[in-house]
């Protein structure tokens, strides 16, 4: 049972445009969400996070939006740059719990 789902295995975006990566979850107990970025042959690196008490968190070119009623979050990257080409994982957790549950990942390709 996949509690965190990223339904788009891949996404291709032109350089300079907006990239939108989506993530859905089924467990209403999740109250903290994170995005990680992964380059080939490297480990994931933390990108941005959001608590369920917020609906938006922004860090430079990266913004995460949370829609609790729809159990949906999205990562917006504006403007997209070639170095953003990577696999992006969303992850969810329950406050006070030790475990993260990851989605399957979305491969983002930024085209010149």
Partner 1 sequence: NAGVTQTPKFQVLKTGQSMTLQCAQDMNHNSMYWYRQDPGMGLRLIYYSASEGTTDKGEVPNGYNVSRLNKREFSLRLESAAPSQTSVYFCASSEGRYSNQPQHFGDGTRLSIL
Kindly state whether residue 96 participates in binding partner 1, applying the rule CB under 8 A: yes
Contact between 31 and 55 under an 8 Å Cβ cutoff? The reply is no
Size of interface with partner 1, in residues (CB under 8 A): 29
Alpha-carbon gap, residue 22 to 70, rounded angstroms: 12
Kindly state whether residue 11 participates in binding partner 1, applying the rule CB under 8 A: no
Query: Quick one: which of 14, 76, 26 has its CA closest to 50?
Result: 76
Kindly state whether residue 100 participates in binding partner 1, applying the rule CB under 8 A: yes
Residues that bind partner 1 (CB under 8 A): 4, 6, 9, 32, 34, 36, 41-46, 49, 51, 89, 91, 93-105
């Amino acid at each position: 049972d996949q509690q965190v789902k990223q339904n788009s295995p891949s996404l291709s975006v032109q350089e300079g445009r907006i990239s939108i990566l989506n993530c859905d979850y089924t467990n209403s107990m999740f109250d903290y969400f994170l995005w990680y970025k992964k380059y080939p042959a490297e480990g994931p690196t933390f990108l941005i996070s959001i608590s369920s008490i917020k609906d938006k968190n922004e860090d430079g070119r990266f913004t995460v939006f949370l829609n609790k009623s729809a159990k949906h979050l999205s990562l917006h990257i504006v403007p997209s740059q070639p170095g953003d080409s990577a696999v992006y994982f969303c992850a969810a957790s329950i406050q006070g719990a030790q475990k993260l549950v990851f989605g399957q990942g979305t491969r983002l390709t930024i085209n010149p």
